[in-house]
Structure 1
Amino acid sequence: MADSIIIIGGGVAGVSAAEELRKCGFNGNLTILNEERELPYDRPPLSKSYASGVLDEEELLLRPPEWYEDHKVRLCHERAARLLPHHRSIELAGGGLLRYDLLLLATGARARTPAGFESSSRILTLRNLADARRFRALLHHGQRLHLVGGGVIGMECAATAALAGCQVTVLEAGERIMERFVPPVISDVLATTHRRNAVTIRERFRVGSIAGNESGVVITGSGEVIETDWVLLGMGAKAEIGLAQAAGIAIEVGGIKVDGEGRTSEPGIFATGDCAAFPGPDGGKLIRWENWTHARDHARSVARAMLGDTCSYNGICWVWSNQYDFNVQVTGQSNAETVLLRGDQHQGPLTTLHLEGNRIVGAATVNNPHDKRALHQLVRARATISREILEDSSIPLSEIVRTLQ
C-alpha cells in the first residue's frame, strides 16, 4: 500500500480524486500540487455567472477551506518543473523535491492560440480565474469585443458580453457555431438567439493575424482588416502534457496515454481528466474528452484504481452550456449521420437524438432537462428504436427506456 500520493493539478479532476482516495480509505500523505495561488475552484462559471458578476470568487470554490484540513489534504502552491520517475520524485520550480509512491497527473488543458501568436494585454484567453478577472473587467457598455472561435467558450462569452452591453462579433472558421458540440438544428437555434441580442456572427472567417497594442487590436483575415478594442480567443484547448512528455511517458492523440484504469506507460504514474487519452467506449480507441463531468468521474475511477480496484472506466460524454435563457446539454456523440428532432425548434423545449444506422449514439436537449436521465440510458445502451417512435414526442422517453428492460 502506498504511503504517499501526489496529485498534480487543482481542478475538478484533482480535487475529485483526492476526495475519492480518502473516501476509499487511503490514510497516507496526500498532496495536491497546484501552481495557482487560489484554493481549487470551479471553472464552468468563469465565462458565465462569475464574469457577469452573479457569483463572487468565494462561491467558485470546489470545497471550503476547512475541507482540506478536515481530510488531511495538503495544498502545495508551487509549479512542478520536472518529473523524475526513476526516483519517484517531482522537482519544483522554486527548488526542492517532493517524493511520492504514486503520482496522479491531473494537469488539465491550456487555451489553444494561433501560430505565431504574440501576447497582448488586449488579447485574452479564458482558462483560469486570472483570465476571468480580466474578462470581467472589460465588460462595459459599448466596448468592442471580437471572439475568435464559436465553440462553447466563445459563445458563452459572447452571450455574457452582449448582456453587458458590449458590441460583440464572433469570427468562426467553420460552417456554423458550436459545430463540434451540437447538431445543426441547435446551432441554428443558438445563432438566432445571439443575433437577436445584437451579436454579429461571421461564419467561414479565416483569421490571418492578430496584433494588439495599448489602445486596441487589429485582426486580419478573409481579405479584411478589423479594428477592435478586445479579442478573446476561443479556439479550443490543448492537453497539458509537457511534464509527462519530458519524462518519456507515452503520448497519443494529443494526450497522456492511459489504460482503462488510468495507468500511464510509467509505473506508479496515473493520469486523468482533460490531459488523459483513454480507451473510449467504441472498441477501446484512444480518445480525449474535455468536460467537467468526465473530469470528475474519470478521476474518481482512477483514484479507486490507484488503491487496487480493477474496474475500468465506463463513462459517457456529457457537456452542457448556458447561453442567455438557454440550457443546452449533450450526451454521447454530438453529431451523427441522422439527427431526429423531438419538439419545435422555434419555440419551447426540444430534444435531438443522434443515430448511426438505427442505433442511438448521442442526444442533445435545449431547455429540456427532464429528458436527461432517459437519454443517458438510451445512449449507454446504444439502443435501436424505430424512428417513428423516437420522433413521436407524445411518447415520453422514460417509457421508451422501459421497453429496453
Structure 2
Amino acid sequence: MLVKIVLSGIYIHIPFCTKACHYCDFHFSTNLSNKSTLTNAICEEIKLRKKEFSGAFNSIYFGGGTPSLLTLAELEKIMNQIFIYVDSSQIQEVTIEVNPEDITVELLRGYQKLGINRLSIGVQSLDDKILSWMNRNHSSEKAIKAINQAQKLGIENISVDFIYGVPNFPNRNISNELYQLLNNSPFHISCYHFTIEEKTYFGWLKKQEKLAELNDLKSEEEFKLITQTLEQKGYDHYEISNFSLSGKASKHNTNYWKKQQYVGLGPSAHSYTYPIRKWNISNNAAYIKQMQQGKLNQEKEKLSKTDHFNELIMLGLRTKEGVNIEEALLLIETNQQDQIKLKIQEFIEDKLLAKEGPIISLRKEKWLLSEYVSRELFILN
C-alpha cells in the first residue's frame, strides 16, 4: 500500500559537453571521441537489464551532460533498443535536454521523427553578461531563437531552465528576463537557485574567497518575484522549483517526486525500485569496459522504512500535492508516530503546514522553509 508502483520513467544520462559550465558538477566529459562507443554501451546496458523493463513506463528522459550533442542516428539506436522491451504506445512523454546553440531545423525535425515530444532548453538567463560569467556557449538572442524555431515546427511542449540567486550581479533585472521568456510562452519553466558546488570553477573561487552566495534575503526576494510573476501569467506552481501551464507538468520528474520506480541508464545514472537504489559508475571509460565485458557493476543501497519515510516527507513537501501522512506513518514505530503527529500539529498551528484529510502540505507562502520543516519531521536513526 505504501509503495504504489503505477508509472515509471526511464532516464538516459549522456555524459558529454563541449565545455564545462562554471557551476555544474554533474558527470560529463568534454572528450567527444568515444560518443559512438558509449552509445553502443548504453544499448548493451539496456540488453543486460531487460528484465527491469516489465513495468508500466510513461516517460523517457535524455539528460546530461548535453544530450543534444548526440547525432540523430545515435539517439535512434538507443530508442530502438529501449522499444524492444518497452511498449512505445504507453510512453506519453519523451524529453531531451538541449542547449540553445545546438538547435537547428534539421535536428528538431529529426527529434519529431523519433517521437521526441518535449524539449528542455538550458536557457539559464537572458542576460548575456551572466551567461558569459557562467561559461555558457549561447547568447540571450540564441536562446529565444531556439524556442521560436521549435515552436514554428510544432514542438510546443517546451520547458526552459532559469537560474536565480546569482551573486555578483546586483543590478540584474529578473523581471525583464522573465517577461522575455513569457513573451514566448514556454509550457514549463524550471527555476533553480544558484549553488556553488565544491568541485567546480565557482567552488574553487569560493575557496579563494573570491565568490560567495547571494544573501538569503535577496534570494527570497527573487523567488517571490518569480512566483508572483509566473502565477499571474497562469502558471501552476506545482513544485518548489517548477511551474507549468495547465496539464503540462513534467511527467518524468513527477515520478521522482512521487517516489515511483525509475530505470537509469548510462554512466553515473541512478535507478530505484523500492527498497533498492542503485547507480552506475561515474567514469565513461570504466562504464564502456563493463558493458563490453557484459558485466554491470552497480553500487547499491537498501532503504530502511525510516529512510523511505524521510524521503516521502522531503519530496512530498516540495510539491503542492503534499504527503499522505497516514500512509507514511505506518512505516515508523508507534512512539515515533506520536512524536511526528505532535510536530505536525505544531506546524499547523504555526501556519507552516496545512492538512486536508490525510494530506499534509506546506503553505505556498512558506515553501522556502521546506528543508527546515522536512528536517524537523525526519526520523533519525
Structure number with the higher strand fraction is 1
Which has the higher relative contact order, 1 or 2, with Cα contacts under 8 A spaced 6 or more apart?
A: 2
Structure number with the higher helix fraction is 2
Higher-Rg structure is 1
TM-score by length of 2: 0.26
